[in-house]
Amino acid sequence: MWSWLLTTDHKRIALLYLISITFFFFIGGFFALLIRLELLTPAGDLVQADTYNKIFTMHGMVMIFFFLIPSIPAVLGNFLVPMMIGAKDLAFPRINLLSWYIYVIGGVIMLHCMITGGVDTGWTFYAPFSTSFTNTKIVEAGIAIFIAGFSSILTGLNFVVTIHRMRAPGMTWSRLPLFIWAHYATSIIQLLGTPVVAVTIVLVAAERALHLGIFDPKLGGDPVLFQHLFWFYSHPAVYIMILPSMGVVTEIIACFSRKRIFGYHFVAFSSIAIAVFGFLVWAHHMFVAGISVYSALVFSFLSYAVALPSAIKVFNWTATLYKGSIRYDAPMLYAFGFLGLFTIGGLTGLFLSALGINVHVTDTYFVVAHFHYIMVGGAVMGYLGGMHFWWPKISGRLYPEGWARLAALIVFIGFNLTFFPQFILGYMGMPRRYYDYSHMPEFQVLNVLSTAGATILGVGYLLPMVYFLWSMRYGKPASDNPWNAAGLEWKTASPPPTFNFDEEPVVTWEAYNYEELDAPHKEEVPVAG
């Protein structure tokens, strides 16, 4: 027990994170289920208005700050970044452990906050509702997120330094797996963005506790200022969630089509472009919030600019399949799922960036559907794909392939059934955050479909947890490289020894050297130069 709680091994810390974020994922999922059950009928009959408002708030806060943001970086990134670049550990192993403890402290405060009353502002904390009107536990939830934010900053810091300083001999920047490039871009956002949300939370707390006039016009503040500060972090935060997932999908597609990635440099730099442009589009959440038409124009334009690198990635992934030798193991099914859902999520983003349409569909279910396609369809699909891909490496066991393919299919179908109807609901005009739509019973059919889909989706998410746990005891032992995949992490034992490699690897090959791996004379594949 103590050897786990005091470990500085990045792989063990990754597993600590895995356990804790899975715990929060199911709490957030439970709230989601309650939301869908309430919306099954137009009347507000399952829970009361205040309860519903707390449920969707906690769903958002838990899923975003305690599941999605740490998900891939803190679990898969933590486990794989050092191994992929041929390092023994992260640059600051103790800080890595510290970041997990900080996360846990934040999480415990959030749990306490939820159990003793919760918050009803929505995860967006809009002022002056949050600062002067609601009497729920804003400050406590703020403290929880503030603290958890430091965990995110420290993880980002650790990755940046590790990727700069700890690469094995021969592991040049253009030989890095694209998973690393994605994490590098993510870490930059975590480092630069997270402090801003921390400051915003402090300002909310200051206005609430000390009545300083910052956001509430009655005290001399400006409520739109809050939205600028909030989205300055919270828009790039979307890229914290999706970029690592893109990294995962890149690795999977290369492996299961046995090919190098088409346009390596374009994929790598598009990650950096997303990180940079991602900081310049925040006000596209505010086109009806009272900003000037000219600033709306600028932010609409920049939103199209940030869509471009994502489009480039999709085209490159597709082109990678061309003349490949494609296998359909579970990770690849998740990668295909990611491509489909992310494409729909991205294309509906074009609707939202079009100013004239944004006015109609913002703050409706259209937006809800759009960001779930990105953050659940994209980020969670990638996360699950990655978990399946690297599970043999992490656990040293094979999961049951048939069940895993079935789960991937169930997740894909359940997801689309849940969220596609919400696009239509949104264009019909159903606003977000309504617990009672008895004035507009015409919305019910689509809501029933959505709830049915959510039930299927729930099963799809439970299955992997069951068979992963099962495989830890009963699964077949995994070889070092069950997928015959490229990458340094597959050149060591499964699970890897404490310092990852018995001797420091020396890299003499490009990333995704599937040509050499699949060459008929396999024995001559260089292991270490």
Partner 1 sequence: MAPHVDALYIFLLIVTGMMALLVFVLLIFFAARYRQRPDVRAEQIEGSTALEITWSTIPFVIFMVIFAWGAVVYFKERTPPADATEVYVVAKQWMWKVEHAEGQREINELHVPVGRDVKLIMTSQDVIHSFYIPAFRIKQDVLPGRYTVEWFRATKPGVYHLFCAEYCGTQHSGMVGSIVVQEPAQYEAWMKGASTGPLSASGEKIFAELGCATCHRSDTQGRGPNLQGVFGQPVQLEDGRTVTADENYLRECILDPGSKRVKGFQPIMPTFQGLVSEEQVNALVAYIKSISAAKPAGGAKTNAHLVSPRDPMSEQAQAQPNAQPDRSQVQ
Q: Restricting to residues 121-140, which ones interact with partner 1 according to CB under 8 A?
A: 121-122, 124, 126, 128-129, 133-134
Binding residue for partner 1 (CB under 8 A) from 506, 518, 525, 528? 518
- Does 415 help bind partner 1 (rule: CB under 8 A)? no
CA distance 131 to 232: 19
Q: Name the segment binding partner 1 (CB under 8 A); options: 3-11, 232-240, 381-389, 424-432.
A: 424-432
* Residue corresponding to tokens 């828009």: 235
Q: Name the segment binding partner 1 (CB under 8 A); options: 10-18, 200-208, 282-290, 444-452.
A: 282-290
Residue placing its CB nearer to partner 1 in the complex, 440 or 448: 440
Q: Measured from the CB of residue 238, what is the shortest distance to partner 1 in angstroms?
A: 19
Q: Which two tokens stand for residue 138?
A: 């804003």
Residue placing its CB nearer to partner 1 in the complex, 350 or 459: 350
Binding residue for partner 1 (CB under 8 A) from 26, 92, 304, 509? 304
Q: Name the segment binding partner 1 (CB under 8 A); options: 156-164, 295-303, 410-418, 461-469.
A: 295-303
Cβ contact 22:425 at 8 Å: no
Torsion over CA: 245, 251, 256, 260 (sign): positive
- Does 6 help bind partner 1 (rule: CB under 8 A)? no
Would you give the binding string for partner 1 spanning residues 26-45, x where CB under 8 A is met?
Answer: ------------------x-
Count CB atoms within 10 A of the CB of residue 323.
8
Output phi, psi for 331, to 5 deg.
-55, -40
Cβ contact 375:238 at 8 Å: yes
- Does 413 help bind partner 1 (rule: CB under 8 A)? no
Q: What is the dihedral of CA 195, 200, 202, 207, to 10 degrees?
A: 170
Binding residue for partner 1 (CB under 8 A) from 431, 452, 481, 495? 431
Nearest to 54 by CA among 141, 138, 121: 121
- Cα 40 from chain centre: 28
Q: How many CA atoms lie within 13 A of 270 on its CB side?
A: 26
Residue placing its CB nearer to partner 1 in the complex, 108 or 519: 519
Q: Measured from the CB of residue 448, what is the shortest distance to partner 1 in angstroms?
A: 18
Residue 364 β-bridge partners: 431
Residue placing its CB nearer to partner 1 in the complex, 46 or 354: 354
Q: Name the segment binding partner 1 (CB under 8 A); options: 142-150, 169-177, 350-358, 398-406.
A: 350-358
- Does 289 help bind partner 1 (rule: CB under 8 A)? yes
Q: Measured from the CB of residue 358, what is the shortest distance to partner 1 in angstroms?
A: 7
- Cα 98 from chain centre: 21
Q: Interaction with partner 1 in 439-478: which residues (CB under 8 A)?
A: 439-440
Q: Interaction with partner 1 in 195-254: which residues (CB under 8 A)?
A: 216-218, 220, 222-224
Q: Measured from the CB of residue 472, what is the shortest distance to partner 1 in angstroms?
A: 29
Q: Measured from the CB of residue 229, what is the shortest distance to partner 1 in angstroms?
A: 15
Q: Measured from the CB of residue 362, what is the shortest distance to partner 1 in angstroms?
A: 7
Output phi, psi for 342, to 5 deg.
-65, -35
CA distance 481 to 494: 8
CA distance 357 to 430: 15
CA distance 285 to 294: 15
Local structure of 475: helix, strand or coil: coil
Q: Could you tell me how many residues of this chain bind partner 1 (CB under 8 A)?
A: 91
Q: Which two tokens stand for residue 381?
A: 């699909």
Q: Interaction with partner 1 in 52-71: which residues (CB under 8 A)?
A: 53
CA distance 182 to 241: 11
Binding residue for partner 1 (CB under 8 A) from 351, 403, 470, 509? 351
Binding residue for partner 1 (CB under 8 A) from 9, 120, 251, 489? 120
Binding residue for partner 1 (CB under 8 A) from 362, 416, 447, 500? 362
- Does 117 help bind partner 1 (rule: CB under 8 A)? no
Local structure of 55: helix, strand or coil: helix
Q: Which two tokens stand for residue 8?
A: 């500085």
Residue placing its CB nearer to partner 1 in the complex, 335 or 488: 335
Q: Which two tokens stand for residue 103?
A: 């996360």
Radius of gyration of the chain (CA): 23
- Does 371 help bind partner 1 (rule: CB under 8 A)? no
Q: Measured from the CB of residue 343, what is the shortest distance to partner 1 in angstroms?
A: 5
Query: Which H or E element spans position 170?
Result: none
Would you give the binding string for partner 1 spanning residues 308-347, x where CB under 8 A is met?
Answer: x--xx-xxx-xx-xxxxxxxx-------x--xx--xx--x
Binding residue for partner 1 (CB under 8 A) from 46, 212, 363, 405? 363
Output phi, psi for 221, to 5 deg.
-95, -175
- Does 166 help bind partner 1 (rule: CB under 8 A)? no
Structure letter (DSSP) for residue 41? S
Q: Name the segment binding partner 1 (CB under 8 A); options: 81-89, 186-194, 284-292, 499-507.
A: 284-292
Cβ contact 311:317 at 8 Å: no
Structure letter (DSSP) for residue 77? I
Binding residue for partner 1 (CB under 8 A) from 117, 429, 482, 495? 429
505: left (phi over 0), alpha (psi -120 to 50) or beta: beta
- Does 514 help bind partner 1 (rule: CB under 8 A)? yes
Helices marked H in 116-212 — which ranges? 138-165, 178-210
Q: Measured from the CB of residue 44, what is the shortest distance to partner 1 in angstroms?
A: 7
Residue placing its CB nearer to partner 1 in the complex, 120 or 489: 120
Q: Name the segment binding partner 1 (CB under 8 A); options: 24-32, 94-102, 352-360, 501-509.
A: 352-360
* Residue corresponding to tokens 């965990």: 151
Structure letter (DSSP) for residue 504? -
